[in-house]
Amino acid sequence: MNTYTNVKDLGDLHQAVQEALQVKQDRFAYKSLGENKTLLMVFFNSSLRTRLSTQKAGMNLGMNTMVLDVNQGAWKLETERGVVMDGDKSEHLLEAIPVMGSYCDVIGVRSFAGLHDKAFDYEETILNQFIRYSGKPVFSMESATAHPLQAFADLITIEEHKRTARPKVVLTWAPHPRALPQAVPNSFADFMNEADVDFVITHPKGYELDERFVRGARVEYDQMKALEGADFVYAKNWSAYRDPHYGQILSTDRSWTVSKRHMDVTNNACFMHCLPVRRNMIVTDEVIESPRSLVIPEAANREISAEVVLKRILEEAK
Amino acid sequence: MNTYTNVKDLGDLHQAVQEALQVKQDRFAYKSLGENKTLLMVFFNSSLRTRLSTQKAGMNLGMNTMVLDVNQGAWKLETERGVVMDGDKSEHLLEAIPVMGSYCDVIGVRSFAGLHDKAFDYEETILNQFIRYSGKPVFSMESATAHPLQAFADLITIEEHKRTARPKVVLTWAPHPRALPQAVPNSFADFMNEADVDFVITHPKGYELDERFVRGARVEYDQMKALEGADFVYAKNWSAYRDPHYGQILSTDRSWTVSKRHMDVTNNACFMHCLPVRRNMIVTDEVIESPRSLVIPEAANREISAEVVLKRILEEAK
Amino acid sequence: MNTYTNVKDLGDLHQAVQEALQVKQDRFAYKSLGENKTLLMVFFNSSLRTRLSTQKAGMNLGMNTMVLDVNQGAWKLETERGVVMDGDKSEHLLEAIPVMGSYCDVIGVRSFAGLHDKAFDYEETILNQFIRYSGKPVFSMESATAHPLQAFADLITIEEHKRTARPKVVLTWAPHPRALPQAVPNSFADFMNEADVDFVITHPKGYELDERFVRGARVEYDQMKALEGADFVYAKNWSAYRDPHYGQILSTDRSWTVSKRHMDVTNNACFMHCLPVRRNMIVTDEVIESPRSLVIPEAANREISAEVVLKRILEEAK
């Protein structure tokens, strides 16, 4: 593997999950693989889970790790040619990115959607600049439109907890006070569409996601109907994708907050969320604290998904 | 050892000091103990000595180390159940802390007293949340009411420099322009009360510390009288503990600044302070620069106290 | 080597470059040298290249690395004796620096010129305090008046790309919207004056550098004349050094921007710059993107120059 930005990069998904479960049995088994290899993690946005779990994964593999925090939007890279750089942009990406690449062996990049310019976000401008100009393998630590380390961890978690060969998995929108990117639901859909599950998406009208991620998945606007018989309920807020409302909040309807009433119509489903979660907006205390809540083991699997990705990148580079 | 928050956690104090002196002889002797173990240091407040010395101690033991800076009060964790999280708190401690615990083997926490809410501070709300919910061994890197790594380093330093079996140790209040927590004097008293020393506390009236730390120690309001015959003078500022003045500055009396006049009545005492120190407020240039000043070796022993604590935690976890 | 602040610290310069080229062949060959050794990097100013390349160099040598970010001017160390520290300075350098020294084996310091007080800058007040009080080997990661890791990397790069035994190297001033320190041109001159090159400096009148760095080098005020027959063109902006204009911008003349017109009079010269670079202020897109541009390999050599310096410090300390 040389790049990790979506489900296709993992190849055979069943095999990837099996590899993850095996790595989890002994996460230090591949420690020699990362010897004298350096992982650079570049954060354009703040991070708790991704920072710690990815760093831990790199260390599990024996890598040296370096973290670069690019202050919230403060380091503006010039991206155009021909511009006289006499303003606030002190460096051009054509210098900055190859230089970062020269000090490491693998680069992880976190860069959220701005939600102001749909084309800029959905062309994955920043991530693609790293892929194109760094000269090193690049993986997404959540980009503008995707969070494939999260979705891979989610799939591992489903595999660990499923009770039937082909479980029903429901991705449900839930309300949130701030406008959030579509990266997590996009990647969750991207993975579920390739996994051996019965996948349903539910959200209020207007919250339709990009067809490139939804593909043929069933979309059911009646949340209660969607949840019937579910084995896994994956809650997440996102802002509108479709024009002319890109990046906007269209609903704050608290009837969508996942509660006991919702879980009661499921097949005693497991509850999932990528965290951080706003309690009693996304999900009630009762549901997230129930024995069927997987939010902590799901977060713990972030270390495993990152380790598999780094392991494959290191193996490819050998 | 599974938790380190006060002197009791060290068990036999004499033995702990001997272990420290032995570790200091060869600080890399236990490097295999930390192999494949990860130390997470969480800072809710800024730090120089604690950050560097604790990280160094972890590396001495062969641990991987990760540092998480939680911006000054910016990451507000929701702590109540039942709250609709539609405000500025983006995560509940019941998720955030177990997740941090899932990426490491040992957690150090720094979280100062706010000095606004005595009950919140003295119940050690934040530190206890980590102990309760992280699922991993937790040690204090200075909490609201205690700084046991500092006090342990202080005791090691006293042991190294004492000239009599049972030295006289005087903790003296000294003025400071800002309101400071009671954590350092609390823990110093906590340790001195268990050590083989003649312990005296001196401060202006109104600066009485919590009885749980002072216990039976002699309190002498006349500073000069307290200092007579002292072998060690430990200076420190703190704000008022007692109601209704909790967290307030009651005195800025510069006659309490430790000067040659004060040291002259001692038994050629060593001068100690935990640093950072305001010169000519807490202590004069002359005293802190004298050959009897131990402030630098005392700070250097922070590496040793942290290493003993981490070593014991790792040994317990084996 | 115990201190690295200028070209003299490297001793025989030819030998140092040969050592660098050998280290570059196998940058992990000296990994045992740094075992149980800790590198502390203290940043008073922000950094991308220096932070990553120096950390990488330390890890190549098997060192543990710790990074301390001192917020932009926020941590004001008191430097005077006798001052009553009741203001915003919370620590005296006489405590802070020895304490930092006690937790590590080698210290790198970055501290830019303030450009307000020429004497303070050119006496290298902060760097020299670390050298005097830390008790450990200290190296410059760009100080007020010098950037010797950059200049050493520049010399390595010239050695790798020169086509004649004694190439002509031209340091040319170029315009920039902000007032910049003289550290990079000072150190470049410092190195070129000791290297086997034909060295010429060109800049508008008023931009004369300190004679201690320029020494006997030829200064040619006509940029085009200076560039004639050059093998290497090293562009850099700096603010005025001479009184009464210290730290000021005297010219923004864009005719000094290095363009194809300038490169055409050279001997098909290589283009160099330390980065970050303002395109179309310092140099045109065309020149920096040409096959003769060395800016990326030059930055990559920062890892090598830092590794040689750390290697020599570790060897000396054995």
B153 touches chain A (CB under 8 A): no
Residues in C closer than 8 angstroms to B303, CB to CB, are 102-103
Taking the CA of residue C52 and the nearest CA in chain B, the distance in Å comes to: 17
Q: What is the mean pLDDT of chain B?
A: 96
Question: Both tokens of residue B19?
Answer: 């272990």
Cβ–Cβ below 8 Å for A303 and B92:
no
Provide the terminal-to-terminal Cα distance of chain B, rounded to the nearest Å. Answer: 11
Q: Which of B52, B280, B300 sits opposite C85 (nearest CB)?
A: B280
Please give chain C's pLDDT, 318 residues, in tens: 899 999 999 999 999 999 999 999 999 999 999 999 999 999 988 888 999 999 999 999 999 999 998 865 445 778 888 999 998 888 998 999 999 999 999 999 999 999 999 999 999 999 999 999 999 999 999 999 999 999 999 999 999 999 999 999 999 999 999 999 999 999 999 999 999 999 999 999 999 999 999 999 999 999 999 999 999 999 999 999 999 999 999 999 999 999 999 999 999 999 999 999 999 999 999 999 999 999 999 999 999 999 999 999 999 988
Cβ–Cβ below 8 Å for A48 and B99:
yes
Q: Which residue of A59, A103, A105, A106 is the best one to mutate when testing the C interface, meaning the one whose CB has the most C CBs within 10 A? A: A103
Q: Which of B64, B83, B104 sits opposite A280 (nearest CB)?
A: B83
Helices (H) and strands (E) counted in chain C, each on its own, are: 12, 12
How far, in Å, CA of B184 to CA of B280, rounded?
20
Greatest CA separation for chain B: 62
What amino acid is encoded at B82 in this protein?
G
Cβ–Cβ below 8 Å for A276 and B40:
no
Provide the terminal-to-terminal Cα distance of chain C, rounded to the nearest Å. Answer: 11
How far, in Å, CA of A230 to CA of B183, rounded?
52
Same structural domain for residues B28 and B88?
A: yes
Q: Which of C51, C177, C300 sits opposite A102 (nearest CB)?
A: C300
How far, in Å, CA of B178 to CA of B167, rounded?
32
- Mean pLDDT of the region A213-239: 98
Phi-psi region of A229 (alpha: psi -120 to 50; beta: other; left: phi over 0): left
Same structural domain for residues C118 and C166?
A: no
Cβ–Cβ below 8 Å for C281 and A82:
no
The interface pTM score, or ipTM, of the predicted complex is 0.94
Q: Is C180 helix (H, G, I), strand (E, B) or coil?
A: coil
Same structural domain for residues C10 and C139?
A: yes
Q: Which of C64, C83, C95 sits opposite B277 (nearest CB)?
A: C95
B150 touches chain C (CB under 8 A): no
Taking the CA of residue C32 and the nearest CA in chain B, the distance in Å comes to: 15
Q: What are residue B214's phi and psi, to 5 degrees? A: -70, -40
Contact predicate A302/A155, CB 8 Å: no
Asked whether residue A79 carries a pLDDT value surpassing 90, the answer given is no
Burial C5-18 (b: 16+ CB within 10 A, else e): bbbebbeebeebbe
Q: Which of B66, B87, B90 sits opposite A55 (nearest CB)?
A: B66
Rounded alpha-carbon distances, angstroms, from residue A270 to A165, A202, A291? 15, 17, 8
Same structural domain for residues C87 and C194?
A: no
How far, in Å, CA of C270 to CA of C268, rounded?
7
How far, in Å, CA of C1 to CA of B46, rounded?
34
Question: Both tokens of residue B263?
Answer: 């040291």
Q: Tens of pLDDT along A261-279?
A: 999 999 999 999 999 999 9
Instruction: Burial-class residue B309 by CB neighbours within 10 Å (0-12, 13-18, 19+).
Output: buried
At residue A75, the pLDDT reads: 59
What amino acid is encoded at B170 in this protein?
V
Residues in A closer than 8 angstroms to B133, CB to CB, are none
A200 touches chain B (CB under 8 A): no
Strands A232-236 and C3-4: unpaired
How much of chain B exceeds pLDDT 90, in percent?
A: 91
Helices (H) and strands (E) counted in chain A, each on its own, are: 12, 12
Q: Which of C38, C40, C78 sits opposite B279 (nearest CB)?
A: C78
Rounded alpha-carbon distances, angstroms, from residue A101 to A96, A147, A297, B122? 9, 22, 33, 49
DSSP A161-197: H-SSSS-EEEEEE---SS---SHHHHHHHHHHTTSSS
C56 touches chain A (CB under 8 A): yes
pTM of the entire predicted model:
0.96
Cβ–Cβ below 8 Å for B99 and A279:
no
Q: Is B99 helix (H, G, I), strand (E, B) or coil?
A: helix
Q: What are residue A11's phi and psi, to 5 degrees? A: 65, -135
How far, in Å, CA of A300 to CA of A53, rounded?
8
C76 touches chain B (CB under 8 A): no
What CATH number is associated with residue B67? 3.40.50.1370
Same structural domain for residues A121 and A225?
A: no
Which residue in A93, A102, A85, A136 sits closest to C289, CA to CA?
A: A93
Contact predicate C183/C142, CB 8 Å: yes
At residue A74, the pLDDT reads: 46
Domain count, chain B: 2
Which residues have CB under 8 Å from A222's CB, separation 6+? A202
Asked whether residue A72 carries a pLDDT value surpassing 80, the answer given is no
H-helix or E-strand containing C97?
helix C93-102
The number of C-alpha atoms within 13 Å of B38 and in the hemisphere containing its C-beta is: 24
The larger pLDDT score, comparing residue A89 to residue C66, is at C66
How far, in Å, CA of A302 to CA of A168, rounded?
22
Same structural domain for residues C47 and C117?
A: yes
- Mean pLDDT of the region B68-83: 74
Taking the CA of residue C280 and the nearest CA in chain A, the distance in Å comes to: 5
B83 touches chain A (CB under 8 A): yes
At residue B71, the pLDDT reads: 65
H-helix or E-strand containing A92?
strand A91-92
What amino acid is encoded at B240 in this protein?
A
Which residue in B89, B74, B184, B78 sits closest to B126, CA to CA?
A: B78
Same structural domain for residues B21 and B137?
A: yes
Cβ–Cβ below 8 Å for C102 and B303:
yes
Question: Both tokens of residue C190?
Answer: 């410092």
Which residue in B316, B314, B308, B309 sits closest to B36, CA to CA?
A: B314
H-helix or E-strand containing C307?
helix C295-317
B98 touches chain A (CB under 8 A): yes
pLDDT tier at A307 (50, 70, 90 boundaries)? very high
Burial B144-156 (b: 16+ CB within 10 A, else e): bbbbbbbbbbbbb
Please name the residue that has the structure tokens 């926490």. Answer: B109
Q: Tens of pLDDT along B253-280?
A: 999 999 999 999 999 999 999 999 999 9
The larger pLDDT score, comparing residue A6 to residue B80, is at A6
Asked whether residue A105 carries a pLDDT value surpassing 50, the answer given is yes
* Other Cβ atoms within 10 Å of C86 Cβ, number: 15
Cβ–Cβ below 8 Å for B300 and C90:
no
How far, in Å, CA of C132 to CA of C109, rounded?
13
Same structural domain for residues B291 and B163?
A: yes
Q: Tens of pLDDT along B286-307?
A: 999 999 999 999 999 999 999 9
Same structural domain for residues C167 and C290?
A: yes
How far, in Å, CA of B210 to CA of B240, rounded?
10
At residue B245, the pLDDT reads: 97
Same structural domain for residues B157 and B280?
A: yes
Same structural domain for residues B45 and B156?
A: no
Helices (H) and strands (E) counted in chain B, each on its own, are: 12, 12
Rounded alpha-carbon distances, angstroms, from residue A272 to A164, A236, A293, A297, C296? 17, 9, 6, 10, 45
Q: How far is CA C252 from the centre of its chain?
A: 23
Residues in B closer than 8 angstroms to C85, CB to CB, are 278-281
The larger pLDDT score, comparing residue B90 to residue C179, is at C179
Q: Tens of pLDDT along B183-235?
A: 999 999 999 999 999 999 999 999 999 999 999 999 999 999 999 999 999 99
* Other Cβ atoms within 10 Å of A28 Cβ, number: 14
Taking the CA of residue A90 and the nearest CA in chain C, the distance in Å comes to: 6
Q: What are residue C287's phi and psi, to 5 degrees? A: -75, -45
Contact predicate A84/C252, CB 8 Å: no
Taking the CA of residue C53 and the nearest CA in chain A, the distance in Å comes to: 6
Cα dihedral: C224, C228, C232, C234 (round 10): -20
Residues in C closer than 8 angstroms to A84, CB to CB, are 279-281
Same structural domain for residues A211 and A176?
A: yes
C243 touches chain B (CB under 8 A): no
Taking the CA of residue B102 and the nearest CA in chain A, the distance in Å comes to: 6
Interface contacts B/C by beta carbons within 8 Å: 70
Please name the residue that has the structure tokens 């909040």. Answer: A249
Cβ–Cβ below 8 Å for C96 and B299:
no
Cα A230–A233–A236 angle (5° rounding)?
A: 150
Asked whether residue B73 carries a pLDDT value surpassing 70, the answer given is no
Give the residue ranges of DSSP H helices in chain A: 13-25, 49-60, 93-102, 118-122, 125-133, 148-161, 183-192, 211-214, 223-227, 260-263, 285-288, 295-317
At residue C150, the pLDDT reads: 98
Residues in B closer than 8 angstroms to A276, CB to CB, are 90-91, 95-96
Taking the CA of residue B283 and the nearest CA in chain C, the distance in Å comes to: 10
At residue A215, the pLDDT reads: 97
What amino acid is encoded at A194 in this protein?
E
C221 touches chain B (CB under 8 A): no
Asked whether residue A76 carries a pLDDT value surpassing 90, the answer given is no
Q: Tens of pLDDT along A22-37?
A: 999 999 999 999 999 9
How far, in Å, CA of B2 to CA of A7, rounded?
41
How far, in Å, CA of C181 to CA of C35, rounded?
36
Q: Where in the sequence is the domain holding A231, given as residue range(s)?
A: 149-298
What amino acid is encoded at A247 in this protein?
G
Rounded alpha-carbon distances, angstroms, from residue A203 to A191, A253, A271, A284? 18, 11, 17, 18
Chains that contact A by 3+ CB pairs under 8 Å? Answer: B, C
Cβ–Cβ below 8 Å for B90 and A276:
yes
At residue C73, the pLDDT reads: 42
